[in-house]
Amino acid sequence: MEVPTGEAKVARRFGLIVIGDEILSGRRQDKHMSKLIELLAERGLSLGWARYVADDPEQITATLKDSFASGDVVFSTGGIGATPDDHTRQCAALALGTKTELHPTARELIAGRIQSMAEGDPIKADLSTPENQHRFKMGEFPIGSDIIPNPYNQIPGFRIKEHHFLPGFPVMATPMMAWCLDTHYKDLFHQENWAEQSFIVPKGIESTLTPLMERIEANFTGVKVFSLPSVGDASKGGVYAQRHIELGVKGNANLLESAWIALRTGTQELGYEIHDIS
């Protein structure tokens, strides 16, 4: 297992690569990012970045070369099947300068799935048929990979160089993500007492508030200031119906109180009203 320890591991970010033409064309909506954010948040972690990539071998290989070099912990969804538009397994191997081979445990799992689906039919259960031999391609992973169990249908994903390759179906990928986190990264859970606080600034103007935001970040090390402008939503009513900004701070909870007070005071000194979020 290529699992760095100590300080180097804590320093790395979590990233997500979602592969599939159907996402970029709009035929399907991505659900992986929201699920991964939720899983990470439950464990005191956060998502550092996300990328969407087409079913294009050159794009996939280039993206994986970058992410392998980043040192980040990465989840990749999609493209690990055995149809002509599934390129991820081969591209991962190419990005690592290696080849794919049939993983012995993956072969056992896929064979078990074939037998189960055959329901006693000897023809369907015959592993030597071209159809079943083709199914074994789903177990061909870059040399040196470990498998990721798939509780939905037993067809595994794979893990190599802190990258975790999962199916494009959220019903499969979500529990596999959770398994990866709980199995390999439990020592990173809840390392920081992370918190976030914000309030609404009706008719706020970002250019006016930016110097204050920069000053807060400069004066309070480890605290980030965020600004989420909105044109308003009449269906929500109240201050949310008009143009407004949600302004806040996030970071270690032990550092937030003074920054929170400074941000509120500074906003009011600029002549703005403040509405707390209930």
The fold for domain 194-276 equals Alpha-Beta Plaits (3.30.70)
Q: CB atoms < 10 A from the CB of 83, how many?
A: 10
For the chain, give the mean pLDDT: 92
Q: What is the pLDDT of residues 65-111, one digit of tens each?
A: 999 999 999 999 999 999 999 999 999 999 999 999 999 999 999 99
- The average pLDDT across 22-27 equals 95
- Which residue is listed with tokens 């899983």? 39
Q: List the CATH code of the domain at 6-188.
A: 3.40.980.10
Q: What is the pLDDT of residues 122-157, one digit of tens each?
A: 888 889 999 999 999 999 999 999 999 999 999 999
Q: Where does the pLDDT of residue 4 fall: very low under 50, low under 70, confident under 90, or very high at 90 and above?
A: very low
Same fold, 6-188 and 194-276: no
| pTM (predicted TM-score) | 0.81
Q: Where does the pLDDT of residue 27 fall: very low under 50, low under 70, confident under 90, or very high at 90 and above?
A: very high
Domain boundaries, the chain: 6-188, 194-276
First CA to last CA across the chain, in angstroms? 46
- Tell me the residue length of the chain: 278
